[in-house]
């Protein structure tokens, strides 16, 4: 099916509107989770491509580990750091205008849940990653106690509820096993799961005590999956 220019423009505007509603950033525990993972698994230097970069907040957490930062997103946010190499791109469509194997680490922080095709998205992240490089993806944790109880009582995952005034742009809910399956399908190896260790107590504005949150998934609002692109041996 060939889309008309008017239909393409409508789709583009919808993606831009959804991107702007996210306000371009996530919570600090999510960025800290990514920073800890990068410090643990990436030896340092090289290029970071931040797909769905928003306002570029991730860079402030990991800038000491890289030489160069590239941000990719549907819109450029006003507070994106001026030094960022910014690539405008609709993450739901096709390939980003970047070469294959261009990044040592590719991150997508709280992005995959906004997109229509998570498998195509991960394939694109893998394309951008150098052999031996890392792909890092975070998303809301559907297996937290908060999310499970919301599902039981409201028949909706907590981060994907539809009601007036609630965040409207999450459209694809993935479980931990879904992330592992997709990463495996994309030939990523050495998979690891991490948790934000920060989670809200069900139906309250309060968070779990840190003494509980350190135990992982049940008490964490967000999850991270990281995998390594296969190295090429000659």
The two three-digit tokens of residue 129, written as one number: 């990653």
Q: Which residues of 91-109 are buried (b: 16+ CB within 10 A; e: fewer)?
A: bbeeebebeebbbbbbbbb
Cα 116 to the center of its chain, rounded Å: 14
Mention every residue, 6+ apart, whose C-beta is less than 8 A from residue 210. 197
Tens digit of pLDDT per residue, the chain (234 long)? 344 454 444 445 555 665 556 566 789 999 999 999 999 999 999 999 999 999 999 999 999 999 999 999 999 998 898 889 999 999 898 899 999 999 999 999 999 999 999 999 999 999 999 999 999 999 999 999 999 999 999 999 999 998 776 666 899 999 999 999 999 999 999 999 999 999 999 888 898 888 877 777 899 999 999 999 998 766
> Across-strand partners of 107?
50, 136
User: Is the separation of the CB atoms in 202 and 149 below 8 Å?
Assistant: yes
CA–CA gap between residue 118 and residue 181 (Å, rounded): 11
Task: Round to whole Å and give the CA distance between 10 and 12.
Answer: 5
Q: What is the DSSP string of 134-198?
A: EEEEEEE-TTSHHHHHHHHHHSS-GGG--STTS---------HHHHHHHHHHTTEEEEEEEE-S-
pTM: 0.89
CB neighbour class for 44 (10 Å; exposed up to 12, middle 13-18, buried from 19): exposed
For the chain, list the domains and their CATH numbers. 23-229 (3.40.50.150)
Rounded distance between C-alpha atoms, residue 107 and residue 223, angstroms: 13
Sheet holding 68-73, edge to edge: 85-88, 68-73, 47-51, 103-109, 129-140, 222-229, 188-195
């Amino acid at each position: 099916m060939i889309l008309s220019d008017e239909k393409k423009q409508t789709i583009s505007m919808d993606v831009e509107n959804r991107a702007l509603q996210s306000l371009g950033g996530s919570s600090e525990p999510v960025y800290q989770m990514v920073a800890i993972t990068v410090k643990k698994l990436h030896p340092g230097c090289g290029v970071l491509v931040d797909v769905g970069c928003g306002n570029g907040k991730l860079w402030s957490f990991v800038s000491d580990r890289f030489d160069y930062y590239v941000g990719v997103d549907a819109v450029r946010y006003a507070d994106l750091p001026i030094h960022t190499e910014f690539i405008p791109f609709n993450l739901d469509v096709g390939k980003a205008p970047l070469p294959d194997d261009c990044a040592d680490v590719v991150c997508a922080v709280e992005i995959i849940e906004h997109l229509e095709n998570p498998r195509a998205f991960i394939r694109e992240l893998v394309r951008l990653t150098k052999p031996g490089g890392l792909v890092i993806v975070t998303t809301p944790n559907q297996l937290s106690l908060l999310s499970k109880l919301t599902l039981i009582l409201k028949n909706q995952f907590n981060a994907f509820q539809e009601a007036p005034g609630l965040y409207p742009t999450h459209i694809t809910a993935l479980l931990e096993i879904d992330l592992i399956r997709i990463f495996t399908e994309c030939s990523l190896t050495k998979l690891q799961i991490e948790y934000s260790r920060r989670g809200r107590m069900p139906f309250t504005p309060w968070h779990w005590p840190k003494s509980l949150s350190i135990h992982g998934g049940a008490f964490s609002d967000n999850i991270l999956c990281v995998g390594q692109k296969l190295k090429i041996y000659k």
